[in-house]
Amino acid sequence: MRFQAAGVINKFDFDSAIVGTSIAANFQTSEANIKLGGTFQNISLDGSLLKERKVLLDYLLTKKKDINYKY
């Protein structure tokens, strides 16, 4: 998924993202779309370190200016 995440970010149209470790990789985007609103993509990295997710988030936020921030 580390290599595929850039392709997902570049090719798919979405306004919200799920980013996390292997636990978040099992979250269903269809359920998030309904419960939280928006169009989600799950780009969680299995077994990733915080610094790996930082690289992914930095790339995501530079490519997608319309990402919704939900905490």
Q: What is the pLDDT of residues 42-51, one digit of tens each?
A: 999 988 889 9
* Total domain count, the chain: 1
The label of the residue with tokens 């292997």 reads 22
Percent of the chain with pLDDT over 90: 51
Q: What predicted TM-score, i.e. pTM, was given to this entire model?
A: 0.81
Mean of all residue pLDDT scores within the chain: 88
Give backbone dihedrals phi and psi of 41, rounded to 5 degrees, phi first: -130, 140
What is the distance between the alpha carbons of residues 71 and 69, in angstroms, rounded to a whole number? 7
The gap from C-alpha 60 to its chain's centroid, in whole angstroms, comes to 8
Domain of residue 49, residue span: 4-63
Q: Where are the alpha helices (DSSP H) in 1-71?
A: 4-11, 29-36, 50-63
The verdict on residue 51 lying in a domain is yes
